[in-house]
Structure 1
Amino acid sequence: MINQVYRLVYPGQFEVTYKPRTINSDKVIIRPKFLSVCNADQRYYQGKRDASVLEKKLPMSLIHEGVGEVVYDPKEEFEVGQPVVMIPNLPIEQDDHMDENYLRSSRFRSSGYDGFMQDYVFMRHDRLVPLFKELDIHTAAFLELVSVAMHGITRFNFKSHDRKQTIGVWGDGNLGYITSILLKNKYPESEVVLFGKTKRKIEYFTFIDKSYLINNIPSDVEIDHAFECVGGLGSEMAIEQIIDCIKPQGSISLLGVSEDPVEINTRMVLEKGITLFGSSRSGRNDFVDTVDFLEQNKEVISYLNHLVTKVVTINNIDDIRHAFEEDQVSAWGKTVLEWKI
């Protein structure tokens, strides 16, 4: 069969590519249904990656957040029409001491490897996780981002000490919102404190215990541990504030992505004995944990639903471009593509 793949060839310009594929393989054939635009996709679309990176990775199909419907399964492990979340990470080896998302040999869709903007996606069985009925399909579109927060919290559980009276979250964007709601449900006895930049965004965090604007943090504020969900140029200030507020021997989980190096006050990291660790992407276990968690804590789904701010129907390439432009001007939430092309 001939599969149509919709690729970004230059910043702001998409083209269709025709790729021959065979159904006589062990891959499950998935029809994408709902996709979600990520900041990483936008950086490619807007040409905000280094020129050498763009030259190396383009042309490439974007989008690594999405759900689809099973069209064909040669092993009949999935039912035809079954909704599944698609895992973008593709490991080709196993290491007993390293998660699949940190293996240098792993490939990742929409980062040097074609993403989900295709007529059909051919996937290994272990790259798919079934969804449950009560999970809103628009919200399911960005389960990958939820799994990233879940992965960071899982690592936090192993690396932090047991005193978790107060957990601070820096960042009032999508990742900060998701991380905060997961933390509040996984550590109900802990006080989750948000440190944000915009009062209007902070108002969405109705489930947290306390919040501060980052330009007005009282000098006596102390936290046991922190999550940095800012990224970009703002991550440097966020890390600096966290180091000031955190109690000795606390842990800092870095989740925000920055294109440029940031300065860190290592003197105070040493003086306070701070554990500082990074988390990136996620793997199959994180997706399974995320789906299981939401099925057992269905009240969380309604909070995640608030992140869906735009649903754009995609019938052609012009619609794709329109969706990315619309997403750029959105100050809050996730843009979901209803994939009908």
Structure 2
Amino acid sequence: MINQVYRLVSPRQFEITYKDKSLQSDNVVVRPTYLSICAADQRYYTGSRGKETLAKKLPMALIHEGIGKVVYDPKNEFAPGTRVVMVPNTPTENDDVIAENYLRSSKFRSSGYDGFMQDYVFLKRDRIVPLPEEIDPTVAAFMELITISMHALVRFETRAHSRRNVFGVWGDGNLGYITTLILKKRFPESKVIIFGKTKYKMDHFSFVDESYLIDEIPEELRIDHGFECVGGKGSQSAINQMIDIINPEGSISILGVSEYAVEINTRMILEKGLTMFGSSRSGRADFVNTVNFMTEHPEVVEYFSMLVGEVHEVKSIQDLIDAFEKDLTTSWGKTIMEWKI
């Protein structure tokens, strides 16, 4: 069959590419229904990744956050119309020690490999996870982002010591919101504190125990473990602030992406005996855990819906451009595309 792929060919310019795909393989064919725009997609769209990177990666279909419906399964394991979450990480090998999202051989959609902006996406059957009908599709659209926090928390539980009285999360954006919410649900007896720069964003964090602007932190405040969800240049001050107020032998989980190297206070890391670890992307197990988490705690879906910004119906290339341009002016939440092109 002929499949239409909507590729970014240069900053702010999309073109349709036609690819001949076979139905004789073992792949499950999924029609995307709701897609979510990520900051990484925007860096490609606006050309801010740099000329060398763009020359290597483009042309490429964007978007790695999305859900869809099964159109065809050669093994009939998934009935037509089954709602599924699409897993963007695509491993090419197995490793007994290294997780699929850290294998250098793995491919990741919308990062040098076509993303979900297609008429149909052909996926290995382990790259889809069934999605309960009761979960809001506009929330499920950015489930990949939620899985990143879930993945970091699973790693935290295997690496951090057992004293978990106070958690601190730095970053008042989407990732900080998701991380604090999951922390509060997984550790209901613990105190969860959000640290941020923007008061109106922090007002959305109604479920946390305490909130502080980063320049108004009480001198006596201490945390047992910290999560950095800032990214960019701001991650440097966030990490160093964590190092200052964390208790000895605590852990610091780094989730924010920075394009540049940052300086951190290694002297105090040594003096306090801190554990610092990074987490990036996620794998199938994290998607399964997240779907189960949202099923077991249906109230979190309502909280996550606070992150739904505008929902754009996309029926044309111009609609696509409009959605990306509008997303650039959005200061809170996620831009969702209802994929009808």
Q: By the TM > 0.5 criterion, same fold?
A: yes
Q: Give the equivalent residue in structure 2 for 1:309.
A: 309
**3-state secondary structure, aligned to 1:151:** helix
SS at match of 1:239: helix
Structure 2, gaps ≥5 residues long: none
**CA displacement at 1:230 relative to structure 2:** 0.3
* C-alpha distance in structure 2 between counterparts of 1:80 and 1:333, whole Å: 32
In structure 1, what is the Cα distance between the partners aligned to 2:142 and 2:152?
Answer: 16
Once residues 202 and 122 of structure 1 are traced to their aligned partners in structure 2, the CA distance between those partners, rounded to angstroms, is 40
Matched, 1:224 2:224: yes
Alignment partner of 1:179 is 2:179:
yes
Q: Which amino acid aligns with 1:124?
A: K
Find the counterpart in structure 2 of residue 282 from structure 1: 282
Partner residue in 2 for 1:160: 160
CA distance in 2, matches of 1:281, 1:82: 25
Q: Does 1:198 align with 2:198?
A: yes
Provide the secondary structure at the position in 1 that maps to 2:327. helix
Instruction: Give, in angstroms, the shift of residue 50 of structure 1.
Output: 2.6
- Quote the Cα distance in structure 2 between the aligned partners of 1:134 and 1:119: 25
Q: Which amino acid aligns with 1:104?
A: R
Pair 1:123 & 2:144 matched? no
Q: Note if contact 2:167-2:191 (Cα within 8 Å) is conserved in structure 1.
A: yes
Distance 1:47 1:216 in 2: 36
CA drift of 1:51 comes to 1.9
SS at match of 2:76: coil
Give CA deviations for 1:215-257 in whole Å, capped at 9, x if unaligned.
1111111000000000011101100110111011100000000
**Partner in structure 1 of residue 86 of structure 2:** 86
Give 1:323's aligned residue.
323
Question: Percent identity between the aligned chains?
Answer: 61
Residue in structure 2 matched with residue 63 of structure 1 by the alignment: 63
Partner of 2:263: 263
Give the counterpart letter for 1:142 in structure 2.
F
Aligned-partner Cα distance in 2 for 1:194–1:82: 38
Per the alignment, residue 254 of structure 1 pairs with 254
How many residue pairs match? The answer is 341
Q: Which amino acid aligns with 1:99?
A: A
In structure 1, C-alpha distance between the alignment counterparts of 2:27 and 2:115, rounded to whole Å: 16
Segments of 4+ moved more than 6 angstroms: none
Amino acid at match of 1:24: Q
Q: Which residue identity lines up with residue 319 of structure 2 in the other structure?
A: D
**1:152 deviation in Å?**
0.3
**How much has 1:32 moved relative to structure 2?**
0.3
Aligned residue for 1:239? 239
Amino acid at match of 1:32: P
Separation in 2, partners of 1:11, 1:162: 48
> Letter of the aligned partner of 1:335 in structure 2?
T
Asked whether the 8 Å contact 2:83–2:133 carries over to 1, the reply is no
Secondary structure at the aligned position of 1:7 is classed as strand
Q: What TM-score results when the alignment is normalised by the length of structure 1? A: 0.99
Q: CA deviation at 1:265?
A: 0.8
Aligned to 1:51: 51
Is 1:40 matched up with 2:40? yes
Q: Distance in 1 between matches of 2:69 and 2:32?
A: 6
Give the alignment's TM-score, normalised by structure 2. Answer: 0.99
SS in 1 for 2:182: helix
Computed over aligned residues only, the root mean square deviation of the Cα atoms, in angstroms, reads 0.6
Deviation of 1:133 after TM superposition, in Å, equals 1.9
Question: What are the superposed Cα offsets for residues 156-211 of structure 1, whole Å, 9 maximum, x if unpaired?
Answer: 00111000000000000000000000000000011000001100000000000000
Task: Find the aligned partners of 2:130 and 2:6 in 1 and give their Cα distance.
Answer: 25
Distance 2:89 2:104 in 1: 11
